[in-house]
């Protein structure tokens, strides 16, 4: 009797969380478009099928992309009702409103604002590394990967560094609530955290309306797109929450994945020290090999055929960017990391099409600067003995939850 086809499930324990890629390979080979009863959605794993979805926003909509297939408990909904209404914000929106909001954010994140960021990003990264460089050991996730993008996006938005612990708890609350598998009392606690941060953001929006500053909140308030109305407070709250979460979580995981890959293969770290000019291509290869965002949701606008499989109208679809990035039909030796590979530019680590990550240039900048300073200041960097890599218990976001290392302090 032949083995059953591999089924995608949201396992939150090893070995799947630690290494999902063997499962993805079997899915591509045996069941590239399959239904997951556990998640109540269709999962797409081959490159061409993923590309067909993300480049067809008319049939595969982004609205309600993060809606949990299992509705929250009534007591959770009661708490959420005390906060701001949840409205789409870029990643979970469709044209024409997506076009309007992306144009406004693009104006607010103008090239001059990004080009001016390298100096403050380097200063923050240097300060963080200097705090532990003499110790000879650290948890790089806790002491670098997460605080760096948190402080950077906070500074861009105009939020004080003193509020970072509060915002970090909110990030954890959002991730827990979106997973939908925590006990109801914990979900209620997370919902209270979300409402608290919504009110926090509303207070900053009101302050900028009274007295604008040179920050992203003020720029978003003032930005316009053609003859469409400006962003309302409700839209601003949702947008700021999304920008903070994406600007924090995704970049932290990208940096963590790059470090983890090189610490497992020390010769690669040595190669980067010898040739720092290879770093930009190394970042791209990390996005391909171990994407921080493993996939994204869509919903079918009508019945549609994908990869020879009939999907009904209103079907939830998960496109696995991380699986597509290792499709042997597109990438040579896909499970091997080669920064100089000629097919690297085809990766989907930041998505594709209308919803290509708007913060991609900033994420690349932060990771490049952080790695330049790691290579400069932490000689002999290596994994701490008896400290295995543990990954986030989440099937959409991938990154190490701790990265204990040692080096030879000066």
Q: pLDDT tens, 143-158?
A: 999 999 999 999 999 9
Confidence of residue 106 (pLDDT cuts 50, 70, 90): confident
Asked which of 63-67, 148-152, 316-320, 394-398 is least confident by mean pLDDT, the reply is 63-67
> What is the predicted pLDDT for the residue at 93?
87
> What is the distance between the alpha carbons of residues 87 and 102, in angstroms, rounded to a whole number?
15
The pLDDT of residue 104 is 83
**pLDDT at 28 exceeding the cut of 80:** yes
* 2, 26 Cβ separation under 8 angstroms: no
Strand 60-61 to 304-306 pairing: unpaired
Q: Residue 126's Cα: distance from chain center in Å? A: 24
Q: Which of 73-82, 249-258, 334-343 has the lowest mean pLDDT?
A: 73-82
Find which of 192-196, 239-243, 278-282 is predicted with most confidence, using mean pLDDT. 278-282
Q: What span, in angstroms and rounded, lies between the C-alpha atoms of 263 and 282?
A: 14
What are the helix (H) ranges across 316-390? 321-324, 360-377
Q: Determine the straight-line distance between the first and last CA of the chain, rounded to whole angstroms.
A: 61
Asked whether the beta carbons of 176 and 187 are under 8 A apart, the reply is yes
What are the backbone dihedrals phi and psi of residue 13, each rounded to the nearest 5 degrees, phi first?
-145, 160
Domain 21-406 class in CATH: mainly alpha
Q: Which two tokens stand for residue 69?
A: 């297939």
Average predicted confidence (pLDDT) for the chain = 90
Q: Is the pLDDT of residue 112 over 80?
A: no
Three-state DSSP class for residue 36: strand
Residue 68, pLDDT score = 66
DSSP-derived secondary structure for 381-410: -EEPTT---EE-S-SSB--EEE-EEE----
In which band, very low, low, confident or very high, does the pLDDT at 37 lie, cut at 50, 70 and 90? confident
Which secondary-structure segment (H or E) carries 233?
helix 233-245
């Amino acid at each position: 009797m032949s083995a059953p086809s591999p089924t995608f499930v949201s396992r939150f324990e090893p070995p799947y969380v630690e290494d999902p890629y063997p499962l993805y390979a079997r899915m591509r080979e045996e069941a590239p478009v399959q239904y997951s009863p556990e998640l109540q959605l269709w999962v797409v794993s081959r490159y061409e099928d993923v590309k067909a979805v993300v480049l067809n926003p008319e049939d595969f909509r982004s609205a309600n992309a993060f809606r949990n297939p299992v509705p929250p408990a009534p007591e959770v909904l009661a708490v959420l009702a005390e906060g701001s209404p949840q409205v789409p914000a870029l990643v979970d929106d469709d044209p024409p409103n997506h076009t309007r909001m992306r144009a406004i954010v693009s104006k607010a994140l103008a090239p001059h604002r990004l080009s001016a960021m390298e100096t403050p990003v380097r200063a923050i990264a240097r300060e963080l590394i200097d705090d532990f460089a003499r110790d000879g050991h650290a948890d790089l996730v806790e002491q670098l990967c997460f605080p760096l993008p948190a402080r950077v996006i906070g500074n861009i938005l105009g939020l004080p560094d003193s509020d970072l612990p509060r915002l970090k708890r909110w990030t954890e609350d959002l991730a827990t609530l979106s997973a939908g598998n925590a006990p109801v009392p914990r979900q209620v606690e997370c919902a209270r955290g979300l409402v608290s941060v919504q009110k926090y953001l509303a207070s900053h929006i009101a302050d900028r309306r009274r007295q604008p500053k040179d920050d992203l909140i003020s720029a978003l308030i003032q930005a316009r797109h053609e003859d469409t109305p400006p962003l309302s407070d409700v839209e601003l709250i949702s947008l700021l929450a999304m920008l903070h979460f994406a600007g924090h979580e995704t970049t932290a995981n990208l940096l963590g994945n790059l470090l983890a890959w090189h610490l497992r293969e020390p010769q690669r770290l040595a190669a980067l020290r010898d040739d720092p000019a290879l770093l930009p291509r190394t970042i791209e290869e990390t996005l391909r090999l171990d994407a921080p965002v493993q996939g994204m949701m869509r919903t079918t606008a009508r019945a549609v055929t994908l990869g020879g499989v009939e999907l009904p109208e209103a079907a939830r679809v998960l496109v696995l960017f991380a699986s597509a990035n290792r499709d042997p039909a597109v990438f040579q030796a896909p499970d091997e990391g080669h920064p100089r590979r000629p097919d690297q530019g085809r990766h989907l680590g930041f998505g594709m099409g209308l919803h290509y990550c708007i913060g991609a240039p900033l994420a690349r900048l932060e990771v490049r600067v952080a790695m330049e300073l790691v290579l400069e200041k932490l000689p002999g960097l290596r994994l701490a003995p008896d400290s295995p890599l543990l990954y986030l218990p989440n099937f959409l976001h991938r990154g190490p939850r701790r990265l204990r290392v040692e080096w030879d302090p000066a």
